[in-house]
Amino acid sequence: MRDGGRISAAIEVLTEVETRHRPVKMALKAWGDASRFAGSKDRAFVSGLVLDTMRRRRSLGWRMGDDSVRAAVLGALAFDWGWALDRIAEACADEPHGPGALTDAEMAALAAPRDLADAPVAIRADIPDWLEADFVRAFADRAAEEGAALSARAPVDLRVNLLKSDPERAAKALAPLKAQAAGVLPTAFRIPAPNPTERAGAVETIPAFSKGWFEVQDLGSQIAAACAGEVRGKQVLDLCAGGGGKTLALAAAMGSTGQIYAYDSDPRRLADTIRRGDRAGVRNLQIRSPVNPDPLKGLEGKMDVVFIDAPCTGTGAWRRHPDTKWRLTPDTLAKRMADQDLVLDLGATFAKPGGRIVYVTCSVLPQEDEDRVDAFLARNTQFTLKPATEDPALARFLTPAGHIRLSPASTDTDGFFVAVLERSKA
């Protein structure tokens, strides 16, 4: 495909997303299925342009002075991809597959875009208007900067599985993918975000991956798991295990000692946890599936650690799922807050006297984070708030209240929140 056809394809996909409210992955797949002529480089180009445009949808429209999909795509090419005006004009005018010659207004906007510094906070942050106050509450005068960072492309982070390997051997195995130590945690490695027109190196192609030497896991997620503290020999319940990323991180930290129980309300997710656990060499994992009656029976009041990776809006993962930013509604947020209250209260029944709840969200919204913790403590007076980590390497991420808050702008990770709640021994 020529550039003009690729640009037209990106406009087509984005129009499908916006007019029919389809998830971007589904829209891209539908375009790919209907475009068998497109090669791998074409698909990478279209996908990259679609996602980059979606990440900065509002700020691109502001700079162009035009909120249309076409204007945003043109703005992404110019302002994010660094294309010269002549190149954009030539590609657009390429018949018969280009999207059509640039208008005088488009030429003027690309040559002299509006200054983003004059835009409202929500536009500079590339977030819906209704979330502006929440971002200001969370980040104060850094709200626009934090939102912009959540609109960038994300790297690929990896966690070395200490049950199968060690950082030195893993570094050698990951050398073909140009992975480097990510810092903060000795087991964390990072592959930089690829050029938007290229596909990232496939981690699964490295033989050591099949051997279970490492897992794909954002550094923020790894830090959140590390906040469980010393877990060797402990009884640990991962109450919202999902696909098992943090379950496996906890299991590795346990070193095949103690017992870790993985539960999720959706039994389909746990199937992946079993497969991944086998590959990682986990030997102390019990799956508690909701397909069985009373799946958590017998665990009440016995857990040293109840790890709750709570259902949330996923605002902290917008770098990886930019379309969810524009689909989020106040009603969805309210539902997630109710879910979080329920799962916290459920988790409290499993913590033993002196045991801990580790409450985690991949959200940056205070309503899902501090507010839920405060509401829980008001309902459950036998619990008290403790510092989210005692690890000196992670202490710099602590807030004045003792929580951990991570974000792309402040910690170069996805957005995460962690609070630790301890049950009294009496």
In the chain, domain spans:
3-113, 121-151, 156-216, 219-423
DSSP secondary structure string for all residues of 278-299: HHHT--SEEEE-TTSSSTTTT-
User: What is the maximal distance between C-alpha atoms in the chain?
Assistant: 77
Binning pLDDT at 50, 70 and 90, where does residue 416 land?
Answer: very high
Q: How far apart are CA 122 and CA 144, in angstroms?
A: 7
Q: How far apart are CA 220 and CA 44, in angstroms?
A: 26
Pairing verdict, β 214-216 and 416-423: unpaired
pLDDT of residue 38: 87
**Residue 195 pLDDT > 80, yes or no?**
no
* Lowest-confidence segment of 52-61, 192-201, 270-279 by average pLDDT: 192-201
CA distances from 162 to 35, 36, 48, 159, 213 (A): 43, 43, 34, 9, 8
Q: How far apart are CA 120 and CA 96, in angstroms?
A: 39
**Residue 69 pLDDT > 90, yes or no?**
yes
Cβ-proximal residues to 278 (8 Å cutoff; 6+ apart), any chain:
none
Question: Across-strand partners of 303?
Answer: 351
Q: Is 157 annotated as a binding residue?
A: no
pLDDT of residue 200: 63
pLDDT of residue 40: 87
**Residue 184 pLDDT > 70, yes or no?**
yes
Average pLDDT over every residue of 284-299: 95
**Residue 181 pLDDT > 90, yes or no?**
yes
pLDDT of residue 68: 97
User: What is the dotted CATH code of the domain comprising 156-216?
Assistant: 3.30.70.1170
Task: Estimate to the nearest angstrom the gap between the alpha carbon of 130 and the chain centroid.
Answer: 21
Cβ-proximal residues to 277 (8 Å cutoff; 6+ apart), any chain:
244, 247, 248, 251, 285
Pairing verdict, β 259-263 and 235-238: parallel
**Residues designated catalytic:** 362
Polymer length of the chain: 426
Helix (H) or strand (E) run with residue 243 in it:
none
Task: Estimate to the nearest angstrom the gap between the alpha carbon of 299 and the chain centroid.
Answer: 30
Q: Is 264 annotated as a binding residue?
A: yes
Q: How far apart are CA 309 and CA 362, in angstroms?
A: 8
Torsion over CA: 357, 358, 363, 367 (sign)? positive
pLDDT of residue 271: 87
Pairing verdict, β 156-160 and 188-191: antiparallel
Binning pLDDT at 50, 70 and 90, where does residue 199 land?
Answer: low
**Residue 197 pLDDT > 90, yes or no?**
no
Binning pLDDT at 50, 70 and 90, where does residue 204 land?
Answer: confident
pLDDT of residue 187: 96
**Residue 33 pLDDT > 70, yes or no?**
yes
Assigned token pair, 379: 């309902």
Mean pLDDT over each residue of the chain, to the nearest integer: 95
As assigned by CATH, the class of the 219-423 domain is alpha beta
* Residues 414 and 317: beta-carbon distance below 8 Å: yes
